[in-house]
Structure 1
Amino acid sequence: MTRNTALRETMPVPDTIAGRSIVLVGLMGAGKTSIGRRLAARLGLPFRDADQEIELAAGCTIPEVFARYGEQAFRDGERRVIRRLLAGDPMVIAYGGGAFMDPRTRETTRDEAVSIWLRCTLPTLVRRVAGRDNRPLLMGRDREDTLRQLMDVRYPIYAEADVIVDCGDEPPDHTTSTVMQALSDWKPARRLHVMLASTSYDVVIGDNLLARAGALLAPKLPQKRAVVVTDRTVAGLHLPALLDGLAQTGFSTSSVTIKSGEASKNLDTYMDVVDQLLEARVERRTAVIALGGGIVGDLAGFAAATTLRGLPFVQIPTTLLSQVDSSVGGKTGVNTRHGKNLVGAFHQPRMVLADTGTLATLPPRELGAGYAEIVKAGLIGDAAFFAWCEQHGPGVIAGDREAQAEAIRRACAFKAQVVGDDEHEEKPNDGRALLNLGHTFGHALEAEYGYDGGLLHGEGVAVGLGLAFRLSARLGLCPQADAERVVAHVAATGLPAELGMLNRRFSAETLIAHMRRDKKMRDGALHFVLARGIGQAFTSSDVPHEAVLDLLRDEGCAP
């Protein structure tokens, strides 16, 4: 096979884009029409040039439309033509240079097609448009200056395209092959829509989302200005990639960095973050982006909820725990000397970006801590998901990206369903409170450790899951076999599943005292989430004190 033959080799439409049109965007001279025709031929799809379709609809050339009716009338007609094309069967469409600038056209394109930006340098574009006298925006103007001005305005918007392909002076067949390879490699991120009474937002799950942050957030935020709140550890790992991804679409950004660790989740740090937001002269439309784990998300969210009585908020969780738990649901807050998360607010994000690529920087212990919250979702109300966890859990912790993405999606879907039914945790029974399975025990253990990092939140929850099921079995609510199945699976993943695995001596009465200071107390009574079996959790406020005490003692606690 010769090189030229290989370049022209056809391929089936990738499964990831089956049923969707392919749209090419870029400035005049980018090669949208020539590449579009070749791409359509190789994929076996029809090709349409949006400018030609507009001329057919108008009955005159585009320069004549501009001259007779003006640019606004042209843009209105362009939008209608594109909407008609996208509503039909899949095809390859070359947009005019200004078409993608229309917000409504971009929205329709996101819904109906896969967009590809053919990105060219200024010298390349200047050479390609030389001698072209039929471009309304170039008539009577210096080509280089005009193209430079268009690049400044349009390139940040073109960067919202799904795929970006850099084009130089290569032959069209070579560029077409590059586009085809980019389409073959492209994988759409998983999206989960969270619907609440007060608002709705998407959780986007996938790899390399930090680099795509600007493209994903631009349609969702009222202003292309944001302050990123992160901690020192995450800043060194991921902040440059996020800032670059935001800059690609024209965001103006600054950052606030706090110390890493649970000790920073307090009122003093919160006030420092608020002061820095105000010093940055944020406006009511300026977004706060939380980049980090649950500590950063809770703290930044609380600052966003209260600064100027509420700023747009985005969660970009970088730990498995925060991706499946704290980033979804709108709970924000800080700790006090009286307990965990006792001061805070409900403040829903505009979007959650769960970049699975950030998980590669986590130690296995952190991945395990996040996995506890994934398992919890199956134990509460989805026995089939727990069975999936038993099969795929090791892969999630070992770094299997596909397993991680699917686990995050399913865990977030379950939490979104619960939160949608009880956004502000107002239902006393079997609402959002169900998400506290294992947490009454887990928070007591965290308090005993003093939130010093000796016990991670997810590790406390892991032990708590086993204790909650063993308490349920002790009370005759669920089979003992289910309790042992839970403990066995948690232990098999490397998480602590029993108190004895923590290698520390606890006092039963002291742990119960911590439970009584927990925010889940109601009318002076402890509330536990118990289970009638795997996937059958419920809340209870009438658990005998003696039953909890006996369980803890049998698990090795001192009286």
Structure 2
Amino acid sequence: MTSTGAVQVDLGDRSYPIEFRPIKEIGATLAGLHKPGKCVVVTNDVVGPLYGQIVQDSLRSAGWAPEYIELEDGEAKKTTDTYIGLVNRLLELQVDRKTPVVAVGGGVTTDIAGFAAATTMRGLPFANVPTTLLAQVDASVGGKTGVNTSHGKNLLGAFWQPFLVHVAVDALDTLSDPEYRCGLGEVVKHAVLEEKQDPSDPSKWVPSTEFFEWLEANAEAIVARDQEALKHTVRRCCEIKAAVVSQDERESGKRALLNLGHTVGHAVEAVVGYGGLRHGEAVAMGTVAETHLAVLRGCCDASVPERIASLLRKLQLPTGLEGLKTDDLVKASFMDKKREQAHITVTMPHSIGDVRLVKITPEELIPAFESLTTNAGSADAAREEDASSKGGAGNGGASNGEANGAAPPSPPSANSFASGAHQNSENFMTGRPTTRVHQPPGGASSIIFG
């Protein structure tokens, strides 16, 4: 049975709980940690119509006086303009340094709202109410906030810890299938880097394959959104991330392990264009590519990236991308936040549960970028594996289309991906049927599931 208690992020006087409660209980949860009064709910135009009123009613019933701000949703809106607009709106509402900002939405919303809270009046208290799987297992925990710039992803931001993360797994009921799969990319990342305290010496952490093996055994239930499997998945990811953040709040060492898949993934996102590829999909591809690089450098057995790719296929996630120019990816990697002069700190899996950090030049990433087209076989293999495992698309949010966290409907782009069985070929952003890419950045491009 999955535990129901809070997970604590231990950071001294900045410690906070991750509570697992229904979204309608946010008012009481918040009141248990902060004296009720004025607060500001920040959400987006996709989540707002679904949960905005529920959240405000809950807050009022617990003695809060909520103001309400709705942002445009989507990675393409994670900009300095959106951030400045939000700061100005907070000031117009005459917030003071004790006015909590309550971020309700996916990772884009929690990142922007957290950054605005960190910088408005030199710091406002804020709470996260993540409503997407990616935000619940990763983005809402750890205090990283920020926005994208024309130079790269999350290059303007701050470390600013929330005083509460309220994880409402019931909010995932309205999450679209593409956005649900997106979150599973971060789930697999956490499983690859899982460690556990050494029973004989709790001050030491040792590699663990327990969560990864559990995911392998329960992939079909996770894809089907089985509630018990989903609750365990979300909670275990929060436990893993909380343990790492508690040891290294500001990414001076061990926390950099949480960037597994992100060096390659962020470069791919930058070249494709923000909003053209879901973040979790890019992380999935990046995790396989970076593990493949570890194999080429002689520190990892070749079976490891194949095993990771196999799990990703079971969860209906992409493992490769064709058509991008290696030179463009190398150039994009120069803007990586982890770069120190001529080197980038890259995650290097040695085995499941044993991920290490190594400094390399962007040029040394070329084999990882090149492996994107070949590292896991063909889309046909993915289809066969999906069919044999009955891994259909999740059904919890299928009727809601783009509800909760998916980008708002927009004219179909040319981007398409090859999908597993029981899925249509879809546009990245809208889920609508589409055709192969014509000319994205770097040439014709398609995502490979397999």
Residue 462 of structure 1: CA displacement?
0.4
What is the one-letter code of the residue matched to 1:530? M
Query: Which secondary structure does the structure 1 equivalent of 2:351 belong to?
Result: coil
Q: CA RMSD in A?
A: 1.9
Counterpart-to-counterpart distance in 2, 1:551 and 1:216: 44
Give the corresponding residue for 2:245.
419
The letter for the 2-side match of 1:226 is C
SS in 2 for 1:230: strand
Give the conservation status (yes or no) of the 8 Å contact 1:335–1:343.
yes
Structure 1 segment 356-367 matched on structure 2, within 5 A? 356-367=169-180
SS where residue 537 of structure 1 aligns? strand
Q: Deviations over 1:311-334 (max 9, x none)?
A: 110000000000011100001111
TM-aligned CA deviation for residue 522 of structure 1: 1.2
The reply to whether residue 451 of structure 1 matches residue 274 of structure 2 is yes
TM-score, normalised via structure 1 length: 0.63
Instruction: Indicate how the Cα distance of structure 1 residues 205 and 513 shifts in structure 2: closer, same or farther if over 3 A, else same.
Output: same
Q: Is the 8 A contact 1:380 1:434 kept in 2?
A: yes
Supply the AA of the counterpart residue of 2:224.
A
Structure showing greater Rg = 1
For residue 94 of structure 2, what is the aligned residue in structure 1? 281
Distance 1:215 1:222 in 2: 11
Q: Distance in 1 between matches of 2:286 and 2:187?
A: 14
Post-superposition CA distance 1:483-522 (Å, at most 9, x none): 11111111121100122xxxx4111111111111111111
Q: Could you tell me whether the CA contact under 8 Å between 1:291 and 1:317 is conserved in 2? A: yes
Work out whether 1:317 is the aligned partner of 2:130.
Answer: yes
Is the Cα contact below 8 Å between 2:190 and 2:240 reproduced in 1?
Answer: yes
- On the 8 A contact 2:219/2:314 being kept in 1, the answer is no
Alignment of 1:492-507 (within 5 A): 492-499=314-321, 504-507=322-325
Could you list the per-position Cα deviations for residues 502-544 of structure 1 after superposition, in whole angstroms to 9, with x for gaps in the alignment?
Answer: xx41111111111111111112212210111111001100368
Alignment equivalent of 1:408, drawn from 221, 234, 237 = 234
In the other structure, the counterpart of 2:434 is none
Take 1:469 and 1:405, find their aligned partners in 2: how far apart are those partners? Answer: 28
Instruction: Write out the 4+ residue segments of structure 1 that deviate beyond 4 Å after TM superposition.
Output: none
Q: Structure 1 CA distance, aligned partners of 2:36 and 2:29?
A: 13
Which of residues 298, 302, 315 is equivalent to 1:476?
Answer: 298
* Counterpart pick for 1:553 among 347, 356, 370: 370
Tell me which amino acid in the other structure corresponds to 1:410: R
Change (3 A) 1:189 1:215: farther
Among 222, 225, 244, the alignment partner of 1:396 is 222
Identity between Structure 1 and Structure 2 (%):
40
Q: Give how far 1:556 is off.
A: 3.3
Q: For residues 253 and 554 of structure 1, do their structure 2 counterparts lie closer, same or farther at Cα, with a shift above 3 Å needed? A: closer
Preserved contact between residue 197 and residue 420 of structure 1 (Cα < 8 Å): no
The answer (yes or no) to whether the contact 1:469–1:483 under 8 Å persists in 2 is yes
Amino acid at match of 1:279: E
User: Aligned pair 1:527/2:353, yes or no?
Assistant: no
Unaligned runs of 5+ in 1: 1-15, 17-186
For 1:216-295, what aligned pairs fall within 5 Å after superposition?
A: 216-295=29-108
TM-score using structure 2 length: 0.77
Shift of 1:469: 1.2
DSSP 3-state at the match of 2:154: strand
Partner of 1:439: 262
1:200 to 15, 37, 40: 15
CA drift at 1:262: 1.2
Is 1:190–1:409's contact at 8 Å kept on the other side of the alignment?
Answer: no
Higher RCO (CA 8 Å, separation ≥ 6 residues): 2
* Aligned amino acid, residue 340 of structure 2: R
3-state SS in 1 of match to 2:116: helix
Paired AA for residue 367 in structure 2: D
